[in-house]
Structures are given as structure tokens and as C-alpha cells.
Amino acid sequence: MGTMHIDGHEIPFQENDNILKAALAANIEIPYFCYHAALGSLGACRLCAVEIAPEDPNKKPRVVMSCLEPAKDGINVSVSAAAARQVRQTVIEFLMVNHPHDCPVCDEGGECRLQDMTVACGPPYRRYRGRKRTFTNQYLGPLVHHEMNRCITCYRCTRFYQDYALGDDLGAMRLRNEVYFGRFQEGPLTSPFAGNVIEVCPTGVFTDAVFRQHFARVWDLETAPSICPHCSVGCNTLPGARDGTLRRVCNRFHPEINRWFICDRGRYGHQYSEHPDRPLTAQVSGVKVSYREALAAAAEQIKAARDRTGGLGSTREDLESNAILQTLLNKLSGRFATFSDPQLETATTAAVAALQSSGGAPSLSEIEQADAALVVGDLTTHAPMMDLALRQAYRTGAKLAILHSGPSLLTRFAATTLTVAPHEIGAHLLHLNEQAATASTTSNKHENEKKLADIATYLTTAQRPILIGVSETMAAPEITALAQLANALGSRARLAYALPGANAYGTALLTPTNSTTAMLEAIESGQIQTLIVMGNDPLGDTRLGARWREARQCLSTFIVSDCVATATAEAADILLPVAAWTERGGTFVNYEGRAQGFAPVFQRAEPLPNTAEVLADLAHCLELALPDAAAVLSNIFPGYQAPLPGTLGSSLSAFPLTMQTETPIGSAPLGHPGHWQVTLASWYGDDVLASYAPALVELAPPAAALIHPTAALKERIEDKEQVRLRGPAGTVVLSVQLNNDVAADTIALARVTLAQLGVGHGDLLELERIS
Amino acid sequence: MEAVLTRHLDAHAPLSLQAYQAAGGYHSLDAAFDHKPEEIIAIVEAANLRGRGGAGFSCGLKWRLRGADAPRPRYLVCNIDESEPGTFKDRHLLYGGPHQIIEAVIVSAYALQAEQVVIFVRGEYGKGGHGLKRAIEEAEKAGLVGSNIKGSGFNLQIKVHLSGGRYICGEETAMLNAIEGRRPNPRHKIPRPSVKGLWQHPTTINNVETLVNVPHILLNGADWFRALGINGGCGPKLFCVSGMVQHPGLFELPCGTPARELIFEHAGGLAAGRTLQGFIPGGASTAFLLPEHLDVPMDFDPVAKAGSRLGTAAIIVLDDTTCPVQATLNLMRFFARESCGFCTPCRDGLPYLAQILTAIADGEGRAEDLILMEELCNTIGPQSFCAFAPGAVMPLTSSLQCFRDHYESHIATGRCPFDAANKSGA
Ligand SMILES: Cc1cc2nc3c(=O)[nH]c(=O)nc-3n(C[C@H](O)[C@H](O)[C@H](O)COP(=O)(O)O)c2cc1C
Ligand code: SF4
Ligand code: SF4
Ligand code: SF4
Ligand code: FES
């Protein structure tokens, strides 16, 4: 938009840029602390001083803060001017007055902005002769470690935590040189994005408490561009490893996805790869064997079974492994499926089909720009960073509406929250479709009708409305209904689904229609004798685990490859441990259909093969000629080129999936006396891999039966009362927790409870009082 | 000069609504409603009423610059945070006559066409704040505050906000944050509060002493007001005199009254046998002046010309038994303590200065300390985020000039000469 001069260089700037922002964009370094690209200018640290030459030569030059000073056409700015340098040097001297001089024992060492700025600007000697101020640190939970003495009071942490992420339990307290950044009382930070304070804090106040348990100097870490495996958002990460073990995961900037931040599931979920129970040695019938021996045993069984072999891929396995497994099964004339639950299969494929025909999901940075949004389900716990993107939209005035059956953190920011039982979601979506089409506003409506009318108004009057569905808790017809609503709103409206698994989109593209049901039936009828399960846990499935456990008895050989000790892995005849995500390269396709490559970060002392390699080795033993992953994938996706790790990713040219029709909306069984509908009460650390991360698991809410107070009153159930829940797979006794966010006739339960009972979201359940 | 602002003050029995009305109170409302708002602003501007909160900005000009077309709602904030050491004038106004304040904010809000007034009262003035609240209730019952005041069609709500109690809350943008329930850090002044103030709405902030002049100006005219001052000053002015004088107190005198008259006539002069070493003219955040400045008229421009500021017109007197190093240290400790902690130079620089001053006062100063302090002040003052820090270093930089020999002797002898003298004298 204009050009200014900085120390003789011509620097372009955009409208509303300040000098600092424009300079950084042009790779001119101006020292700074409190400015942050996502958090903006504050003007507190006073380090970013520059000198501006006067327009009138008779006047004196001005020293200003470059983060607050608007860039103007033609101005002459100097970073190197003596007056500006003097200010920066004094600021550093002031900041070091109270900062401990113990960098050698500080966890931030090597990536500390205060160290860098002190070397860049500071005085080499200390002149202050007084005592340093000391603070007491707080226990902030298992994720973030606190060392307040290192604070330089840049306010970045609270600006991220409170202003950006809309958390409320970390803030600035007290005044003068005693401003304290912490919680009102000690205790775990509650925001799902808390870990980002580690990265926004320029010094060692907030550091990674998990990294700390097995610390390494950052300059000793091996790193490589990776992709978070913990949900379908596909945040870009930079894991760090040393001596053959993974130590930590940091954000890696992607301009359209996660940008500067990641969620705590993404930052701490990596502990699964160092879990003591992680399978590291191959096993045959429970006996540890070499990889080659296990492979040979598997090949022998498959050879015997041939077309009676089945293969179950996974939404958390990469694109390569799923494609190769599919190819292997083709060669064997066996059967291929990818989901453990047919409902999840139809819902996920319906979602991908809807995304394909809607012209693609918005990126997170586009979601941030929304001026109205409807979320169906609990977004925070299925795609945390999508929630953070919506919080940005909310901050700029977007109207958020939530349609769900249970608690959700986002409801705090919602203009309208409509809580209905799982079976009623579909009908409400259909109503909404009608409302959006007619824009009718009849008065005297039932409360829910009014809410629907409000939601319809937000969406129809918005310029950039976005509809987001959580596909795991939606049935295929509901997914379709949401897509139709997007369609009805016209091209302004964008559609997105949080999908179940980092590669759910890619896996869905490879999934044959109704393959899960067909697979289960084939096993149960004895048609499949040998099953290869790859990174999936059918035996631990919430709804169908019991059926799979029985089906497993029909198999003669159960071959499992995984990097975590699931129920399925434990039941394997032949177990083939594989490399974790940070130990291998591969490709995930995120919720947008964006294929992103990730690179191997490090090698374990005893390296494990990745899944694609296991399959290739298996094919080799079977004397089958399998093409390599690149060839397999370009066969499936015309013109496929593996996206390079560290790039922005690329979209796949995939054939359109067809929506699989299912029972239409409205035909779901209605609740009957004594029966409750089940909704999944998830939390932000809830994903298969992250459930092996001890620090996260420590924060999981205790299992309880969440019931709305009105429903409880009707059934004369009291808060904290013990009740017995009866499902197809078993009985569980839990204490009741009254919760206003749960729909009527609905009971919200944690994933572990669902698995114990053998029910899924939307199923019916019996509840009995114990008295 | 006949008392104008202090005429009806009585801290022990402030006038009730009726008594105040009987004494002529609230008459200015009728006068105001007979004027168009912009006419009142023009009169106030013509009166050259300068802000009594410290900076001396023209009140009428401030009101005019907000603009008659500023979007609604608009706010007027009346500043009674008064925490500047040496200053106790607003306290007299608050405790002595709450109805005078209410009358002033009604007329001023009408001129500004503001529908909401927040009166921000220093936390330690709690009793005064409660008295003010009761007076507002009285006025509301009498229809002087509320909707359609005296049939004028003008609606006004007045709220009292009792401060949590920090000096920085008196800074106008920190005050806005405090009223909104945020940390009282100052705000970046672009855009100005008159554009985006309280809850992002146009907001005008004035000191209470500034505002209580407005009804009198309206009733008596701009010329009357200007003529009340002397030596070029305009209007009546509340002066506080404290420190080493015989009769410290509050004096309402013409703006422009020389310091000599204030100290030696009204405040009773120094104790017998003492001589004047220097004085602070305008509250803790202004530069020291010397006996040679005694005849400077206590008005904004002359005091600025003498190298200090009129500030809150609160004179603090140092006689020849007062150690200027100790006095300066005392002030610096205050400022280091009251820094809001937002920006680095002030937050970490002032305690640094206080530490050096402590060392000098304790006889542990070093020769290079004086230059070091000057160097630090040169960054702290101009490079801080708000006007707190420039005010905080003013007493020190001036003290280093006015009383340099005392600093040098502290450093050279390793002790405070005043300590010894005072002890042997005692
Ligand atoms: C650190 C600081 C403290 C202040 N404290 C007060 C105060 O206690 N009372 C006051 O009226 N003004 C105070 N001010 C000045 C106000 O910011 C503001 O300029 C004033 O209230 C405007 O009123 P006036 O124009 O009527 O003087 C303070 C300013 C600063 C920088
Ligand atoms: S804790 Fe870190 S981020 Fe927060 S103010 Fe201190 S230095 Fe800045
Ligand atoms: S939002 Fe999903 S992809 Fe992003 S960091 Fe969190 S778990 Fe990983
Ligand atoms: S100058 Fe002092 S009071 Fe003003 S913002 Fe900075 S720290 Fe706060
Ligand atoms: S970056 Fe400009 S003041 Fe901190």
C-alpha cells in the first residue's frame, strides 16, 4: 500500500500496518518482546524503539515504539540510530534487574527470546546493586511448569490465554514490579489450549512440564516437520527427539491451518509413543519373537487362507498404509474395510461425500473469518483447534449457535445453544432447513422453535456463515441434512465436518461401501479366517466391541499391527509393532481434504518398521508383487504426488464418493420408559493415541452419569446418587452428576463407559436406581 | 477574593439538598437548560477554564473537540481519584459539599449531551463517596437527576465508582479500564477516549475541581471568571500547602497567586529560625523549585516556564532541616510502589532509581551514581507508556539539579548531614 525507508532499505507496507509488522514481513529485525503476530501490539515492553527522522529538518528526530507507530509513506526509520539503541539497551538492563542470572539451569535455554535480545541489544555488565525480587511458583497441573522469577512482564501469556483463547483461570495479578502471572489458586490450567503459553512466553516462566521429565537441550533435539496425529484438523507440528526417544511436540506455523498454536492434545498426546506398555517386540501367540519370525508366521497363515483373508485399515493410519493394505487384499482377492463400526463408516463417508460436493471445507483461517456459525456436536473435543478458530470468529462478533445433546465448552460463547436428545438432532436440522428457506418468524413459538428461528436468522443474514458438524456423533442422514442446509444458504455458506481420525478423510476415500458390515458378517459366517488389523481397535469399539470380540473367536488367525497396546493388539495371535508417527514418514488427509506429508523425526535405538513397510514385507513373503506406495496412490488418485513434509499440503484429485443412504431422519426409535438416550461426553484429551499419554489422562474428568436436573427430578434421582446402567455388553455403576447442558431423556457418558456398556452415541440404555 | 468553590463547604455537616438549594444551589440548571449545549461549551472555552487535574488542558476546547456529533451513548467521567501526594483539594470538595459536585456534573453532562456520568472516587475516600451517593439519591428523588430533568428533555444517570485504590487509577485511561472492571493499566491513546472511551463509547474525563467551576461560569459569565484570577491566571484555584510550614491547609485564592504569598501568608510561613530550601509547586510529580522562584505566579504557564508544573497546585515545602535526598527518595519510593507494572522503564526503572537513592541516603552512594540516575531518567521519562513515569522522574531530575551539592556530600562523606544536624539539634 505504501513504502517507507528503514535504514536505507525500501520497505513496503500494507494498510494499517505498524512499522514493526511491516519490517518483520520484510525480514528486517527490530528487537521486540510484547508484540506477537497473533496477539498484536501492546506497547508494554518498550524494546521495539526506532528513530524516525523529522519531516521538518529543523525538528529533532523522534524515538518511537515501532509496534505502535503506523507505517507511513516515505518516512525514514532507523533501527540502528544511537538514540534507539540506547533505549533498547536500557530496557534490557531494566528487564535483567530482577531476572535470575542462571540461564544454565533454565529450561528455556537455547530458545529464550530474552537471551537473544540481551545479546542483541543489551549492556554487557550489570550496574544494579540491589537485591532481586523473588516470587513463589504455582502448581499449574501436569502440562505446564511455572517459574515466575523469569517473567519479563510482556503480558503475552494472558493475552493469549484470556484474550485470544478465552480462558479465564490464568491472568495478571498485583502491580508494580510484582505483577504476577498465574492462577488465583494453584491447580491445573483448564483451557484446552493452555500449552501454548509455553511458546508465547518469551522466557522460561512457562515451560513444558512433560518435556521437563525427560529433558534435553533444544539444540540437541532432532526435529523434522510433522503432522499432528490426534484429530482430523491436521495441525503442523515440530516434534523433538533425542537419544532415540521423543521428548516434546511444538507448533509449526501453517498459514491456513493452525498458524501459531496447537491444542494440548496435540502437544502432549505424543506421550503414547513412550508409554511403558507400548508394543515394541513382535509376538506370536503371546511369545516374543523377531520381526522376521512374526512376518513369516503371518505369511504362512495368509497363504493358507488367501481369499479368506480380511484387512481392516484405520482412520488413524496414514494414506499409504491404507492404500497398500487395500491393494494387498485385492491381490489376495480378500476383503478390505476400514472402520470398526458401520455407523461410523456411513457417517464419515457421508461427510466426505458432502465436503466433496460442497466445494471443500474452509481452512481454520477461513473459519476465523466467519460471521455466523452453527456447530452440531461438541467441537472442542473432536477438533480442538477448529474450536479455537471459532473463538476468533466470536471475538470479532460472529454469532455462534450450537445444536447438541450434551456439554460443550463452546456453549459459553454461543448466542444460541439448542440442547436436544440425539434422536431429535436430525428433525431439528430439517426444521432449520425449512426456517432458512422461508425465513418465517411466527411469534408464540415453543422455546426450541424460537431458538431455531434465531439460528436461521444468524445464518441467513450472515455474509460468511459456516456450518460445522462433528461426524462421530452424527448419523449419516444428519450429515446430509447439514449439507443440505449449507446448500440452501447458497455459495456464501461453507461446510466443514470434524472427522474421526487424523486420516479419516483419506481413509474414507479408500473405503468400499458398507464394508464394515460385510466384513463382520464374513467373519461371523466363517468366510474370513485370517484378519489383518492395522492401527485399529475393533475389540475396543464402544458400540460393537463385544460383537468383534465374539467374531474374533471365529478367526483362525488374528494379525494386528499397531503402536499402542489396544484391546485388539492384546488379543492378537500375531502382533507386529510398528513405528509411531514421529518415527516414520507418511501422509494424512485432513478434514479439508488436504494431503499433508510428515517426515520421520528420529529413529529409536531399535527401529520399528512403519505399517506400509510391514505390508510390503508381508507381500514379499507371500511372493506377491506389490507396487510401492507412490505407485499405489497414483493409481488411485490421478496425478498423485506425495506432498512434501514442511509444505502447505495439496488436495487429492479423488473420485466423488456417493452418499450411502441409511434410515431416514425421523425413523429412529423413540425413547421409552426406563430408557435413556446416550450422548458421548468427551473431553479435549479424548483420542485413542492420547489416551496413552499419562499427563493428559491425569486431567480426564472422572467417569460419571451426567443427567439434566429436570430429568433427574422426574425420575427422583439425586445428585451424586449411585445408579446402575445396563447396556448390551455389560453393566456399570456410576454416580450421577446433574448437568444443565444435557438434553432431556439423555444421559451423557464418557467413552470408556460407552465401551463397557457396549453402546454408542444415540443408543438406548437402561438406568436403574440402587436403593 | 471571595470564596467561590469553597463557600458552602462543610466537611462535618455538608449542606442537604434543601439547604444547598436555599443557598443558591442548582440554579445553574435553569441557566443551562436555557442555553444550547454548544453555547455553554463556548462560554466555558471563553472563560479559559484549564483542567485542574494536573495537565491544565482547556476544558472548553476538550469538550468542543469531542464533537457535537459524537455517537451515543456518551459518557462524562468525573475524576475524584486524587492520590497525588500533597494534594487534598478534591477531598474537601467531596466531603464538604457533594451537591456542588452533582450540580456541576449535570450542567457539564448537559453541555456534552452525555447521558451517563461516572464519578470515580478514590478508594480511601469511601465515606465521602457514600455521602455523594446519598446526595445523588436525594437529587434523583427531587427530579434533578434522572429522566427529563426539570422538563428539559435531558436525561442523565450518575453512578459513583469507588476505586480499588491505586494512584494509577487517576490516569484517565487507566480509570476507564478500572470502571470497566479490568486491570487499571493505561490504554494506548490512539484513538482518544473522546472517540473510544468507556466501553468504546465517546468519553470525556475531567477533574472534579475543573467541573465545579462550570456552574459558576454559567451563572456569572466568562469575563467574571477570567477576572477572578491575577497575574494572568483565570478563575479561582484551590491550593494545598503542606510540608514544613506553620499552618498547612487548603486555600482558595485567585489563580496566579505567587507561591510566596501562599507559603508565607496563608500557610503561616516556616517555623522560627528556619529558612526555605525549596518547594514542590504542584504535587509529587512536579519538579522542585528554589527560593528564587517564590514570586512565580502559581498558574500553568509561569510555573512551566520556571521549569516545573502547576500540576495539582499542591505546594510541599522543604525547610533547611529537610534532607532533599531523603525527600526525593521518599517520593521515588512512592512512585516505584505505585507503578502499574505495565511498561518496562517505569516498572523496573523506578525501583532501580529508588535503590540507588537508598544507597546514597544510607551513605553507600558512588560517585558515578548521579550520572547513572540521570541516564536512566532520560529513558524512563520519555520512553514509558503513560504520563506517570515522566511525572515520577521529575522530582528526581530537578532535585539532582537543585540540590546536587547535597547528593555529592552524601556520597563523599558516606553519611547524611541532616541526620547528624537534626540529631544534635534534638
Ligand atoms: C499518573 C497519573 C495520575 C493522575 N491522577 C489524577 C487524579 O488523581 N485526579 C485527576 O483529576 N487527574 C489525574 N490525572 C490526570 C488525568 O489523567 C486527566 O488528565 C484529568 O483527570 C483530566 O481532567 P482535567 O482536564 O479536568 O484536568 C492523573 C494523570 C496521571 C498521568
Ligand atoms: S509469564 Fe512469560 S508471557 Fe507472561 S508476562 Fe511473563 S514473560 Fe510474558
Ligand atoms: S486440533 Fe487436532 S490436529 Fe490440531 S493439535 Fe489438536 S489434536 Fe492435533
Ligand atoms: S509509565 Fe508506569 S504507570 Fe504508566 S503504563 Fe508504564 S508502568 Fe504503568
Ligand atoms: S514490542 Fe513494541 S513495546 Fe513491546
CATH number at residue A9: 3.10.20.740
Please indicate whether, in this complex, the C-beta atoms of B372 and A179 are within 8 angstroms of each other: no
Phi, psi of B162, deg, nearest 5: -85, 125
A61-96 confidence digits (pLDDT tens)? 999 999 999 999 999 999 999 999 999 999 999 999
The alpha carbon of residue B110 is apart from the nearest alpha carbon of chain A, in Å, by 33
Query: Which of A156-160, A506-510, A658-662, B309-313 is predicted least confidently?
Result: A658-662
Is it true that the peptide bond before B191 is cis, omega within 30 degrees of 0?
yes
Element (H, E) at A748: strand A746-749
Count of structural domains within chain A? 5
Predicted confidence band of residue A309 (pLDDT cuts 50, 70, 90):
very high
Would you call B340 and A175 a contact, using CB atoms and an 8 Å cutoff? yes
Strand order in the sheet with A49-52: A9-13, A2-6, A76-78, A49-52, A62-65
Cell of A479: 450429515
* B277 CA → ligand 1 middle, Å: 28
CATH architecture of the domain covering B229-319: Roll (3.10)
* A50 and A160 together in one domain: no
**A249 and A296 belong to one structural domain:** no
**Beta-bridge mates of residue A589:** A595
- A357 lies in the same domain as A324: no
- Average pLDDT on A463-492 reads 94
Whether residue B355 and residue A130 make contact (CB cut-off 8 A), yes or no, is: yes
pLDDT for A148 beyond 90:
yes
State the average pLDDT for chain B.
Answer: 96
Q: Is residue A102 part of a domain?
A: no
Range of the domain at A77: 2-96
Q: How far is the CA of A319 from the centre of ligand 1 (A)?
A: 65
Whether residues A177 and B359 touch (CB distance < 8 A) is answered with: no
Name which of A60, A94, A126 to mutate to probe chain B: the one with the most chain B Cβ atoms within 10 A of its Cβ.
Answer: A94
| A155 min Cα distance to partner chain B (Å) | 8
In this structure, are A714 and A756 located in the same domain? yes
Of B348, B356, B359, the CB nearest to A177: B348
Query: What's the helix, strand, coil split of chain A in %, to 5?
Result: 35, 20, 45
Domain membership of residue A659 (yes or no) is: no
A134 and A255 housed in the same domain = yes
Would an 8 Å CB–CB cutoff place A83 in contact with chain B? no
Chain-chain contact of A129 with B385 (C-beta, under 8 angstroms): no
Are A492 and A423 in the same domain?
yes
State the distance from the centre of ligand 5 to the C-alpha of A31, rounded, in angstroms.
9
Q: Which ligand is nearest to the CA of B338?
A: 4
In the prediction, which pLDDT does B426 show? 46
pLDDT, position A672: 64
Name the residue of B166, B167, B343 to mutate for ligand 4: max ligand atoms within 8 A of Cβ.
B343
Q: Which of B173, B175, B185, B335 to mutate to test the pocket of ligand 4 (most atoms within 8 A of CB)?
A: B185
Per CB-CB distance under 8 Å, the chain A contacts of B347 are: 94, 153, 176-177, 179
Q: Which fold has domain B17-227?
A: Rossmann fold (3.40.50)
Backbone angles phi, psi at B365, to 5 degrees: -70, 160
Q: CB within 8 A of A563, min separation 6: which ones?
A: A272, A273, A278, A279, A535, A577, A578, A579, A580, A581, A608
> How distant is the Cα of A48 from the closest Cα of chain B, in angstroms?
11
Q: Is B72 helix (H, G, I), strand (E, B) or coil?
A: coil
Q: How far is the C-alpha of A598 from the C-alpha of A649, rounded, in Å?
A: 10
Judge if ipTM > 0.90: yes
Q: Which three cell numbers stand for residue A40?
A: 498484536
Q: Is the C-alpha dihedral spanning A104, A106, A112, A116 positive or negative? A: negative
Predicted confidence band of residue A435 (pLDDT cuts 50, 70, 90) = confident
| Residues 6 or more apart in contact with residue A97 via CB below 8 angstroms | A128, A130, A132, B348, B351, B352
**A305 in the same domain as A177:** no
Specify which residues B318 forms β-bridges with: B278
CB distance A534 to ligand 3 below 6 Å: no
pLDDT at A437: 78
| Residue extents of the structural domains in chain B | 17-227, 229-319, 324-424
From the CA of A87, the nearest ligand is 5
CA B345 / ligand 4 centre spacing (Å): 8
Q: Cα of B187 to ligand 4 centre, how many Å?
A: 10
Q: Report CA(A169)–ligand 3 centroid distance (Å).
A: 22
Same domain, A145 and A84: no
Residue of B nearest to A153 (CA): B342
**pLDDT, mean over chain A:** 94
Q: pLDDT in tens for each of the 426 residues of chain B?
A: 889 999 999 999 999 999 999 999 999 999 999 999 999 999 999 999 999 999 999 999 999 999 999 999 999 999 999 999 999 999 999 999 999 999 999 999 999 999 999 999 999 999 999 999 999 999 999 999 999 999 999 999 999 999 998 999 999 999 999 999 999 999 999 999 999 999 999 999 999 999 999 999 999 999 999 999 999 999 999 999 999 999 999 999 999 999 999 999 999 999 999 999 999 999 999 999 999 999 999 999 999 999 999 999 999 999 999 999 999 999 999 999 999 999 999 999 999 999 999 999 999 999 999 999 999 999 999 999 999 999 999 999 999 999 999 999 999 999 998 887 776 654
Cβ–Cβ < 8 Å for B244, B422 = no
Best substitution site from A191, A231, A688 to test ligand 3's pocket, by max atoms within 8 Å of Cβ? A231
Q: Is the pLDDT of residue A669 over 60?
A: no
Same domain, A409 and A456: yes
Neighbours of B362 (CB within 10 A): 13
CATH number at residue A754: 2.40.40.20
Report chain A residues whose CB lies below 8 A from the CB of B346: none
Whether B345 sits inside 8 A of A94 (CB atoms) is: yes
Distance A684 CA to ligand 3 centre (A): 10
Give the Cβ contact number of residue A82 at 10 Å.
9
Q: Is the pLDDT of residue A670 over 70?
A: no
Q: Are residues A643 and A706 in the same domain?
A: no
Residue A660 has pLDDT above 80, yes or no: no
Chain B residues in contact with A174 by the CB 8 A cut-off are: 341
Minimum Cα–Cα distance from A131: chain B residue: B355
Q: Would you say residue A476 lies in a domain?
A: yes
Match 491505586 to its residue by C-alpha cell: B166
Task: Determine the Cα–Cα distance for residues B135 and B264; give it in Å rounded to an integer.
Answer: 37
| Ligand 3 pocket: which of A198, A230, A503 to mutate (most atoms within 8 A of CB) | A230
CB contact under 8 A, B183 and A172: yes
Verify whether the Cβ–Cβ distance A91 to B166 is below 8 Å. no
Which residue is closest to B354 within chain A, CA to CA? A130
Per-residue pLDDT reduced to its tens digit, A6-24 = 999 999 999 999 999 999 9
- What are the residues whose beta carbons fall under 8 Å from the beta carbon of B275, sequence distance 6 or more? B291, B319, B320
Looking at the structure, tell me whether residues A519 and A634 fall in a common domain: yes
Chain segment B343-391, per-residue pLDDT in tens: 999 999 999 999 999 999 999 999 999 999 999 999 999 999 999 999 9
CATH (domain of A594): 3.40.50.740
Residue A657 lies in a domain: no
Asked whether B108 lines ligand 1 (CB < 6 A), one says no
d(CA A705, CA A723): 8
In a domain, A124, yes or no: no
Between CA B49 and CA A10 the distance in angstroms is 48
Q: Does residue A731 belong to the interface with chain B, where contact is any CB pair within 8 Å? A: no
In a domain, A84, yes or no: yes
Q: What is the pLDDT of residues B180-192, one digit of tens each?
A: 999 999 999 999 9
Is residue A307 included in any domain, yes or no?
yes
Q: Which residues of A touch B352 (CB under 8 A)?
A: 94, 97, 128, 130
DSSP state of B264: I
- Ligand 1 atom closest to the Cα of residue B175 is 17
Mean pLDDT for the stretch of residues A149-155: 97
Indicate if A536 and A491 belong to the same structural domain.
Answer: no
Residues of chain A neighbouring B372 (CB-CB closer than 8 A): 127
Q: Which residues of A528-538 are buried (b: 16+ CB within 10 A; e: fewer)?
A: bbbbbbbbbbb
- Given this structure, which CATH class describes domain B324-424? mainly alpha
Chain A nearest C-alpha distance from B283 (Å) = 21
| Interatomic CA distance for residues B331 and A245, integer angstroms | 57
The rounded Å distance from CA B225 to ligand 1 centre is 23
Distance of CA B311 from the midpoint of ligand 1 (Å): 9
pLDDT over 80 (residue A442): no
Among A240, A273, A306, give the residue marking a domain's end.
Answer: A273
In eight-state DSSP terms, residue A323 is H
Q: Which atom of ligand 3 is nearest to the CA of A263?
A: 6
Q: Is the CB of A689 under 6 A from ligand 3?
A: no
Q: Would you say residue A123 lies in a domain?
A: no
Separation in Å, CA of A61 to nearest CA in chain B: 13
SS3 (DSSP) at B36: coil
Q: Tell me the C-alpha distance between B347 and B335, whole Å.
A: 9
